[in-house]
Structure 1
Amino acid sequence: MSIASFDPQLETVSVTAAAAAHFKRQLDASESSSAVRLSVKQSGCTGWMYVVDLVSEAKADDLHVPLDDGIELLVDAKSLSVVSGTEIDYVTEGLNHQLKFNNPRVKDYCGCGESFSVS
């Protein structure tokens, strides 16, 4: 058994230009929100589900990830072990537009794609 170290400043979440532009549009349309917050919650048959919220202020233990154009991504400290290393992208697939989470820690998805498990 070994002990792994975790440095949240080195192992954070990254955001593509397309996702940052999407976040900016969402924040510009909101009158009360100033940041985007990423967290996970237990859900579905596999274990975890991403939660992205527009928020007016950070929680005390949120990790702050500044993006271009004054956008701030807040990452829930309790979710870091699940989302660390994730790249958030905004993709077009046919007529659909959606956030896509490229998480190297995911080992399995449920059949409907709602939840995931990590290694």
Structure 2
Amino acid sequence: MEAGMTALITLTPAAQSVVKQLLATTASFPYLRIGVKGGGCSGMGYMIGFDEKAEDDQLLDVDGIPVIIKKAHSMYLAGMQVDYQQNEQGSGFVFITPQ
């Protein structure tokens, strides 16, 4: 893990629980990937999934969860918090950006 990079992204306890469960039971790849994608008119979008580590990835330890991000995405993800929410409309990961 790269020193000093553990606070780049945080996961809430709810998100940690879901990610750890998925890593242990269904994930085909050993790393949680968090990234950005071009947004066009609606702005920047965020993505989350499981993947292999690539040469241009940073490897982070986020509360014991191995997280990878593209080095070029770090400036867009700095301070990002990922939560997992459930309500009557459904459930899923939510990205909370620093203000």
Shared fold per TM-score greater than 0.5:
yes
Unaligned runs of 5+ in 1: 1-7, 106-119
Q: Does 1:96 align with 2:90?
A: yes
Shift in Å, 1:10? 7.0
How many equivalent residue pairs?
96
Shift in Å, 1:11? 5.4
Letter in 1 for 2:18: H
SS at match of 1:25: helix
What's the counterpart of residue 71 of structure 1? 65
What's the counterpart of residue 59 of structure 1? 54
SS at match of 2:56: coil
Larger radius of gyration: 1
Shift in Å, 1:35? 1.0
Determine which of 39, 44, 47 is the counterpart of 2:35. 39
SS at match of 1:79: helix
SS at match of 1:21: helix
Alignment of 1:77-116 (within 5 A): 77-104=71-98
CA contact 2:29–2:50 (8 Å) conserved in 1: yes
Whole-angstrom distance in 2 between the partners of 1:31 and 1:18: 18
Report the TM-score, using the length of structure 1 for normalisation. 0.68
Whole-angstrom distance in 2 between the partners of 1:32 and 1:49: 24
C-alpha RMSD of the superposition: 2.2
Unaligned runs of 5+ in 2: none
Report the TM-score, using the length of structure 2 for normalisation. 0.79
Whole-angstrom distance in 2 between the partners of 1:31 and 1:83: 23
CA contact 2:7–2:62 (8 Å) conserved in 1: no
Letter in 2 for 1:76: K
